Amino acid sequence: MTKRRLRWVSVVLSVVLVLALVAGCAGQKQQQAAAPEPSAKPAKDKIVIGQAISLSGPMAMGVATTSGPVYEMWVKEVNAQGGIYVKEYDKKLPIEYVKYDDKSDLGTMTKLLEKLILEDKVDFVLPPWSTGFLYAAAPIANKHQYILIGGPGGAVKLEEIMPQLPYFFQVLNFSRSQMPVLAQILNELGIKSIAVVHHEDLHGVEYKEVGIPELQKAGLDIKMVKSFPLGSKDLSPLLKEAKSMGAEAFIAFCYPEETMLLTQQAIELGINFKAFFCTVGPYAPTYRDAFGAEAVEGVMGGGAWNEKSSPGAAQFVELYKKHFNREPDDYWGQLYYYSSLQHFQQAIEEAGTLDQSKIREVMATKTYDTFVGPFKYDPDRYFRGHLGQIGQWQKGHWEVIDPGKNRTAPPILKPDWPKKK
């Protein structure tokens, strides 16, 4: 091949190479132009929060007088402010609150909770009512990586599996912190002997298991320990037996309907004790009003705070009155349920997203101001800032009678029930 021909071939190859490069770049641009745009964040106009809870059946009374009104009040307060600000949507999102009736049936509750998560695909869930139901719900919510903020209920058994439940947060105080305080109070009152009864649900069983050793440690003579089924219609044999055995104090680990029945039958039979304690129910003004302030004078129960406990507690009382035109229905948990929701809202706002895992991380580490004061969870995800453990009716007021700084009144021995007219 001559030199002249070689130059000609070289020129032709160069032109081909340039054309190929130009064509390649053009094709690449066309491909880039044809590539789909990254998907935009779906439109969002509300936060849907679901709950499977007892609106009928034996536990409906407990819901209506404890956590139920609090969740409704919180949703109204948030929506009155336009909703919760979520940065990833750059706007406030109002809450839609969806409730299903579990009819006080554990199996129904678990099915409805999974329906809310898997079929309805709600953004968040709220807890069911009672210790046993909470114990069943926590693993389900955790399995689907849904945050579950504990409401009414607290299970010792949950402590054993808390490391496997990173999405569960315990709010209410329960047997672990209450039973040692009750034992101190009984000692302070000079009580020497007691009778213990409990229902056969997880709440009653766990309180008995924690309470008996604490009461024995305090030197109290335990005259009897008896159980009874949930839904019992006559508990008078237990009252009579406790009295016949000479017990000075009657201790019942039970739910509101059972507290009402025990009180009613004790009054009707004129069976008196120096101390009368039921775990769930006495803290409610409806309990006081059902029998009269004179009759319930000296009755003790689980949970305790009042408007004297802190400025924030007084603000909560005023807000509750504004919404319901009555004082709080529950001087055990309502203040804590509401404060946990205030903490939850601020965690969402700081996370700037509805992503459960990111909000969970914020909740587990951050402290926010709430009605109960600075609210935070300990490393095990337990809230510990309760304002009282044991309360007592005194002249129509639910007083905190714990020894120490939270006390709003010293404990008193229970006067006899008023004579039937």
Given a contact cutoff of 8 angstroms between Cβ atoms, the answer to whether 259 and 251 are in contact is no
The residues near 46 (Cβ < 8 Å, ≥ 6 apart) are: 83, 93, 94, 95, 96
Given a contact cutoff of 8 angstroms between Cβ atoms, the answer to whether 274 and 189 are in contact is yes
- Dist. CA 185–CA 189, nearest whole Å: 6
- Dist. CA 195–CA 228, nearest whole Å: 14
pTM to 2 decimal places:
0.85
Q: What percent helix, strand, coil does the chain show, rounded to 5? A: 45, 15, 35
Q: Work out whether the CA dihedral 69, 70, 75, 81 comes out positive or negative.
A: positive
Q: Work out whether the CA dihedral 336, 338, 343, 344 comes out positive or negative.
A: positive
Q: Which amino acid would we find at residue 87?
A: K
Longest dimension (CA), the chain: 135
DSSP structure string for 48-114 = EEEEEE-SSSTTHHHHHTTHHHHHHHHHHHHHHTTSEEEGGGTEEE-EEEEEEE-TT-HHHHHHHHH
Helix axes 131-143, 106-114, angle to 10 degrees: 30
The CA angle 66-383-182, to the nearest 5 degrees, is 70
Beta bridge partners of 51: 99
Alpha-carbon separation of residue 183 from 46, 213, 214, 223 (angstroms): 48, 10, 7, 15
Please provide residue 301's backbone torsions phi and psi, each rounded to the nearest 5 degrees.
-160, 175
- Dist. CA 415–CA 402, nearest whole Å: 20
Half-sphere exposure (Cβ direction) of 334: Cα atoms closer than 13 Å: 32
User: Which tokens in the block code for residue 125?
Assistant: 């869930």
> How do the pLDDT tens digits run along the chain, 421 residues long?
444 444 544 544 454 444 444 444 444 444 444 444 545 566 899 999 999 999 999 889 889 988 999 999 999 999 999 999 999 999 999 999 999 999 999 999 999 999 999 999 999 999 999 888 999 999 999 999 999 999 888 778 888 889 999 999 999 999 999 999 999 999 999 999 999 999 998 899 999 999 999 999 999 999 999 999 988 999 999 999 999 999 999 999 998 899 999 999 999 999 999 999 999 999 999 999 999 999 999 999 999 999 999 999 999 999 999 999 999 999 999 999 999 999 999 999 999 999 999 999 999 999 999 999 999 999 999 999 999 999 999 999 999 999 999 999 999 999 999 987 6
The residues near 138 (Cβ < 8 Å, ≥ 6 apart) are: 148, 150, 158, 161, 165, 168
Please provide residue 370's backbone torsions phi and psi, each rounded to the nearest 5 degrees.
-140, 180
